[in-house]
């Protein structure tokens, strides 16, 4: 009789196939869960740019474009308005200090001078007449004072005689008293005349001084008006080149109107515009270089205004000037922002426009795919970005634009 052999395994045979099927399903589910959500894109290798991360000296500089300009400019403003009669020097000509550039005419100014001269003559005549009248009044008062003094002496002498006669009882007392009163009146009259003469003298001095001051003021005013007439001739204030002249014969020029400029050509400067991103780092005294001519420049002035996202700087040459430099000539300047330092770097590329420098695609060692990695970028120059964190020397990254890659986590390279 056959003996039944019991199956001692903990999983019965009829359930094993279900176990295998379940394992396969679980494995597929895991693959789906862990890899199915990773977004990928296929890119042909010859359509991207790959650069290697390296460590070396990072040159902190920017490239700016500037134009040559005269070292300084003196503007010509019309001191007095008038009509342009002559244009003696043309734009671009060299001038010396004092050279007449324009001649203006102003009939109102000439009439003003004639009126001032007439008023001055009238005032001078009035001063002379007043002075003469005062002298006559002074002589009259002095004559009156002499008369009063004579009367005083006469009355004094009469009083003294009557006093002696009265002592001898030759005249009555009434006559003595009368002569005494006459003497006292003459004495007081003489004192009043002296005070009047003193007061008149002070008054005459003040009046003559005021009239003289008025006359001097009118004379100075006439001198100023005549200087205004001389200002109708527009002259060069310095030696230089007449760079611009905005005045034509017959044109009316207003007082204070800018009509031209003179460029000082003893030296030149470079005027350049810098992106406002660097406004905190651009300081007076920083150096720049023109590689073409191997010349050094230095920032002389940083303008405070920002217009259209840029601000202006002036640079001057440290030593010699470029040969055949001309106003308006363009120069490409390498402007240093700091000393070279050892740092991790990667080549500049279009990826920055897509990522803002927040992440980059790093190629796997196999070279078959690249994955997204967060990075931190520091300074930059026209060739390289400084890498603060996220990359290691020797790693290869995609530096070209990411428009075709979208925002995928993984790039498969074909």
Q: What are the structural domain ranges in the chain?
A: 39-58+341-413, 61-97+237-338, 108-230
Same fold, 39-58+341-413 and 61-97+237-338: no
What does the pLDDT read at residue 347? 92
What does the pLDDT read at residue 20? 62
Instruction: Mention the CATH class of domain 61-97+237-338.
Output: mainly beta
What does the pLDDT read at residue 36? 47
Q: CA-to-CA distance for 182 and 153, rounded, in angstroms?
A: 11
One pLDDT digit (tens) per residue for the chain, 414 residues: 455 555 555 455 555 666 666 667 676 555 444 444 568 888 888 888 899 999 999 988 889 999 999 988 899 998 888 899 999 999 888 999 989 999 998 888 788 778 877 777 777 777 777 777 777 877 887 888 888 888 888 888 888 888 888 888 888 888 888 888 888 888 888 888 888 878 877 877 787 777 778 778 777 777 777 777 778 888 999 998 898 888 889 999 898 899 999 988 888 999 999 999 888 889 999 999 887 767 899 999 999 999 999 999 999 998 888 888 888 899 999 998 888 889 999 999 889 988 888 999 999 988 889 999 999 998 888 889 999 999 999 999 999 988 888 778 888 888
What does the pLDDT read at residue 344? 94
What does the pLDDT read at residue 1? 46
What does the pLDDT read at residue 18? 62
Radius of gyration, alpha carbons of the chain: 53
| Tokens read off for 296 | 């050094």
| Tokens read off for 239 | 């030696």
**CA–CA distances in Å: residue 384 to residues 72, 287, 387:** 37, 20, 9
Let me know if 349 is exposed, middle or buried by CB neighbors in 10 A (0-12, 13-18, 19+). buried
What does the pLDDT read at residue 35? 47
Burial 87-115 (b: 16+ CB within 10 A, else e): eebeeeeebeeebebbbbebeebeebeee
- In the block, which residue shows the tokens 């006469």? 154
What does the pLDDT read at residue 11? 52
Q: CA-to-CA distance for 151 and 191, rounded, in angstroms?
A: 12
User: Biggest alpha carbon distance in the chain?
Assistant: 215
CB atoms within 10 A of CB 404: 12
Q: CA-to-CA distance for 330 and 289, rounded, in angstroms?
A: 14
116: nearest Cα among 212, 211, 228: 228
CB atoms within 10 A of CB 281: 14
Give one DSSP letter per residue of 363-405, joined into a string.
Answer: E-TTSSEEEEEE-EEEEE-SSEEEEEES--TT-EEE-S--TTT
- Topology of 39-58+341-413 in CATH? 2.40.420
CB atoms within 10 A of CB 238: 13
């Amino acid at each position: 009789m056959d003996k039944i052999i019991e199956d001692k395994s903990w999983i019965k045979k009829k359930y094993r196939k279900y176990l295998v099927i379940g394992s396969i399903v679980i494995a597929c589910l895991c693959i789906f869960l862990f890899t199915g959500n990773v977004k990928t894109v296929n890119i042909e290798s010859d359509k991207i740019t790959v650069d290697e991360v390296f460590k070396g000296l990072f040159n902190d500089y920017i490239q700016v474009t500037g134009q040559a300009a005269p070292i300084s400019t003196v503007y010509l403003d019309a001191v007095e308005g008038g009509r342009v009669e002559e244009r003696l020097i043309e734009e671009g000509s060299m001038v010396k200090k004092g050279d007449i550039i324009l001649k203006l005419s102003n009939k109102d100014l000439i009439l003003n001078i004639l009126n001032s001269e007439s008023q001055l003559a009238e005032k001078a005549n009035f001063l002379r007449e007043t002075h003469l009248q005062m002298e006559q009044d002074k002589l009259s008062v002095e004559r009156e004072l002499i008369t009063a003094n004579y009367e005083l002496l006469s009355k004094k002498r009469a009083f003294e005689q009557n006093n002696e006669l009265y002592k001898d009882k030759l005249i009555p007392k009434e006559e003595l008293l009368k002569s005494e009163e006459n003497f006292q009146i003459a004495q007081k009259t003489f004192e009043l005349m002296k005070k009047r003469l003193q007061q008149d003298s002070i008054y005459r001095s003040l009046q003559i001084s005021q009239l003289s001051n008025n006359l001097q003021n009118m004379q100075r005013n006439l001198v100023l008006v005549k200087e205004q007439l001389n200002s109708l001739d527009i002259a060069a204030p310095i030696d230089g080149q007449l760079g611009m002249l905005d005045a034509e014969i017959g044109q009316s020029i207003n007082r204070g109107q800018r009509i031209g400029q003179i460029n000082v050509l003893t030296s030149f400067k470079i005027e350049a515009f810098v992106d406002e991103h660097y406004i905190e780092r651009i300081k007076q005294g920083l150096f720049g270089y023109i590689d073409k001519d191997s010349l050094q420049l230095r920032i002389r002035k940083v303008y405070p205004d920002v217009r259209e996202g840029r601000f202006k700087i002036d640079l001057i040459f440290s030593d010699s000037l470029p040969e055949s430099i001309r106003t308006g000539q363009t120069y490409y300047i390498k402007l240093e922002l700091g000393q070279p330092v050892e740092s991790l770097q990667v080549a500049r590329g279009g990826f920055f426009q897509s990522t803002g420098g927040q992440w980059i695609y790093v190629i796997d060692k196999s070279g078959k795919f690249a994955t997204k990695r967060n990075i931190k970028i520091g300074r930059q120059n026209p060739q390289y970005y400084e890498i603060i964190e996220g990359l290691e020397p020797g790693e290869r990254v995609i530096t070209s634009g990411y428009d075709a890659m979208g925002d995928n986590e993984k790039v498969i390279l074909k």
